[in-house]
Amino acid sequence: MGGKYRITGDKYPRMRRPSGRRRIVLGAVASLAVAGLLGWGGLQLVDVFSGDDEASAAGGAKDCPTRPASADAARKAEPKAFPQPRKITVNVFNATPRGGLAKETAAELKKRGFAIGDVGNATKAFDKKVEGPGIVLGAKSAADTALPVLATQLQGAARQTDARKGGEVDLILGSKFKDLATKKDADKALAALTRPAPTPSKPESSDGKNC
């Protein structure tokens, strides 16, 4: 061409193909993108299946509700062996300054079926030294037999044992003694004392298997 568009020299502009390095970079980026998509899809599948397993486990747990001990188990438990009040001889001693307290208390215990032994003032070891409502005192062999039965008659009574050999037990009235427990409350306490503890049973699933 002529004029101002005339080409001079012996070199001409050429269109170059993209370099090999650029193609490698583009291919690597595409591969990473594909690998990421595949990994993400795999995680989604794992979550789906693991969620089903957890739901199944939760459903299985719901199939195993806890159940209270059955009446049969309670009937099989043997009642504790405690002596009847009529077989317990009680000595009633007054460790307070109030007169006639031991006699009145002994009369009430007799009405409730206890056998009564000695009645009077407490010995020096206890006289005016019992700060609570009272003490039930007996031989070590009475710790789990006569003493608990007698203690049902006086709320807050302390239990003690000594070296005596006989089967009699003492009720020593303390400074905070006001009265024996009402007969109704004493009977409830005695019934609870002799009631056997129920044996718990293992819970079972809906299909009869132990959980």
User: Do the Cβ atoms of 210 and 60 come closer than 8 Å?
Assistant: no
Q: Rounded to two decimals, what is the model's pTM?
A: 0.59
Type of residue found at 18 = P
Domain borders along the chain are 21-64, 85-194
Alpha-carbon distance of 85 to 65, in angstroms, equals 43
Containing 39, the helix (H) or strand (E) segment is helix 20-62
> For 146-166, how does the pLDDT look when each residue is reduced to its tens digit (9 = 90+)?
999 999 999 999 999 999 998
> For 20-79, how does the pLDDT look when each residue is reduced to its tens digit (9 = 90+)?
666 666 666 666 766 666 666 555 655 555 555 554 445 544 555 555 555 555 455 566
Backbone region of residue 141 per phi and psi (left: phi > 0; alpha: psi in -120 to 50; beta: other values): alpha
Q: What is the CATH number of domain 85-194?
A: 3.30.70
